[in-house]
């Protein structure tokens, strides 16, 4: 259950990061509200997961999921380009997150 909460929290990290960018410095109300709600839910989920999972592992998995999904969202919205190098590095990051789960 803790891993499910951690993955959901990582996904919410991507939501709040994307909303933060869309808020344009908190000038736009809707993205700002989404940012705040996703931030609180993401942090709460991370805190919950850290009650049973090692802190370093939980944080690394949370950040990794958030980073990869944030890039995927930006690429899907055509805000960023996905180069071969970036693709390979993202695959290494995903592999590292999976590896951390396997060895925990």
Find all residues with CB under 8 Å of 5, minimum gap 6, and list them: 45, 48, 49
Tokens representing residue 33 in the block: 């509200």
What φ, ψ does residue 3 adopt, rounded to 5°?
-70, -35
CB 20 within 8 A of CB 66: no
3-state secondary structure string, the chain?
Answer: CHHHHHHHHHHHHHHHHHHHHHCCCCCCHHHHHHHHHHHHHHHHHHHHHCCCCCHHHHHHHHHHHHHHHHHHHHHHCCCCCCCHHHHHHHHHHHHHHHHHHHHC
Tokens representing residue 96 in the block: 């590292």
pLDDT of residue 68: 93
For the entire predicted model, the pTM comes to 0.86
Query: In the chain, which stretches have pLDDT less than 70?
Result: none
pLDDT of residue 1: 81
pLDDT of residue 83: 93
pLDDT of residue 103: 83
pLDDT of residue 20: 97
pLDDT of residue 104: 73
């Amino acid at each position: 259950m803790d891993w499910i909460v951690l993955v959901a929290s990582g996904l919410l990290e991507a939501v709040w990061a994307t909303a933060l960018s869309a808020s344009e410095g908190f000038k736009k109300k809707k993205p700002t509200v989404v940012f705040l709600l996703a931030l609180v839910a993401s942090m709460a989920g991370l805190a919950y997961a850290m009650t049973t999972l090692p802190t370093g592992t939980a944080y690394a998995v949370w950040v990794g999921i958030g980073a990869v999904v944030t890039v995927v969202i930006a690429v899907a919205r055509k805000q960023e380009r996905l180069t071969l190098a970036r693709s390979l590095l993202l695959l290494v990051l995903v592999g590292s997150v999976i590896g951390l789960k396997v060895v925990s």
